[in-house]
Amino acid sequence: MVRRYLDLSTVHIREETSLWLSEQAKAQPPLLVVYAYEEGFFIPVPEEPDDAVPMDLLNLFGLAADNDATLLRLDRDGEQLDGLAEYDW
């Protein structure tokens, strides 16, 4: 099966969200499945995210779902999209 993913820069999440994602990558059990690597994260887009998921990340999940993407890649060198919030950290 071929699936789509949304590739974005980590500039579109807050630093606190990045730290939360890093914690989730190590948590047992996690609130959200996260695969962390040195430059960012791969995150399967959940159908019904937990209430604890940060709002900036929820907004990106919505964008991914609107574009039929089942995976979100956040990378420090990823795409910066006009119209999305950007955070300086």
Domain positions in the chain: 4-75
pLDDT at position 44 over 90: yes
- pLDDT above 90: percentage of residues in the chain: 96
pLDDT at 60: 98
pTM for the full model? 0.93
In whole angstroms, give the CA distance from residue 78 to residue 76.
6
Identify residue 70 by its one-letter amino acid code: T
pLDDT at position 31 over 90: yes
Is 9 in contact with 74 (CB distance < 8 Å)? yes
Residue with tokens 């606190």: 16
Torsional sign, CA 54, 60, 63, 67: negative
pLDDT at position 46 over 90: yes
pLDDT at position 2 over 90: no
